């Protein structure tokens, strides 16, 4: 399958957006709703707003600002948390995610959520999906002062959570984050493809990958 010996894994480290949850919500929010509201507020066309915002997003990618919705509220003069609440009905869990989480719990694995998402986003998504109950602990990059793309995030996360690199599986939909985790020494790493339900093609990757969590289940753990 993916070369992941689940029997040997004690710690399951999981990303949230795009990995457990359908990234369509976030893509729609940042690429359509925010540009629409920004265009209205500044009396410019949607196309102009989107072009301006995409370049602005790019400048902050891979930093704590990237997912800090309070930062974007100030930067864009929009109430970002309120806008997220408006479309929270679009927040969906990927297929077979809850089955996988339940199976990991049944087998006594420690399950940790490691996310760059802001607290307010986590709260909205946990309330909509109910997946918060499956985690032994939730770590946001804001807790640690570094995004997951930084080795310092991993140093602090290991110290705080007490996971062991050699018996940990980490699943994320972002290759740059996986590269950092691999560099830090996390032994088992998987790329979650099909981050958005609108994606149809499984991209080539240097990492072993899954497109659906059912690929990890029923494997004799």
**Both structure tokens of 156:** 């602090």
Predicted confidence (pLDDT) per residue in 133-178, tens digit: 999 999 999 999 999 999 999 999 999 999 999 999 999 999 999 9
Under-70 pLDDT residues of the chain = 1-2, 200-202, 218-221
Q: Return the domain boundaries, the chain.
A: 6-22+93-216, 25-89
CATH of the domain spanning 6-22+93-216, picked from 3.30.390.50, 3.40.50.1000, 3.20.20.140, 3.30.1360.40: 3.40.50.1000
* 77 burial level (CB within 10 Å; 0-12, 13-18, 19+): exposed
* pLDDT recorded at residue 1: 45
Tell me the C-alpha to C-alpha distance, in Å, between residue 53 and each of 10, 30, 32, 34, 75: 42, 9, 11, 9, 11
pTM of the entire predicted model: 0.94
Predicted confidence (pLDDT) per residue in 197-215, tens digit: 998 666 778 899 999 999 9
Dihedral, CA of residue 193, residue 112, residue 135 and residue 129, to nearest 10 = -30
């Amino acid at each position: 399958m993916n070369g992941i010996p689940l029997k040997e894994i004690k710690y399951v480290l999981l990303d949230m957006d795009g990995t457990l949850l359908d990234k369509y919500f976030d893509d729609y929010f940042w690429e359509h709703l925010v540009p629409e509201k920004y265009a209205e507020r500044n009396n410019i066309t949607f196309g102009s707003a989107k072009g301006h915002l995409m370049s602005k997003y790019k400048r902050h990618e891979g930093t704590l600002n990237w997912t800090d919705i309070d930062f974007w509220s100030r930067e864009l003069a929009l109430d970002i948390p309120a806008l997220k609440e408006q479309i929270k009905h679009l927040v969906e869990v990927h297929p077979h995610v809850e089955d996988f989480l339940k199976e990991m719990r049944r087998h006594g694995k420690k399950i940790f959520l490691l996310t760059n998402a802001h607290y307010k986003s986590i709260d909205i998504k946990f309330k909509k999906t109910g997946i918060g109950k499956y985690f032994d602990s939730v770590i946001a990059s804001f807790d640690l002062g570094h995004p997951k793309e930084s080795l310092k995030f991993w140093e602090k996360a290991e110290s705080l959570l007490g996971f062991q690199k050699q018996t940990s599986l980490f699943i994320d939909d972002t290759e740059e984050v996986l590269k950092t985790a691999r560099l830090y020494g996390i032994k088992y790493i998987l790329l979650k493809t099909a981050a958005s339900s609108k994606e149809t093609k499984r991209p080539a990757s240097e990492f072993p990958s899954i497109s659906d969590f059912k690929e990890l289940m029923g494997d004799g753990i």
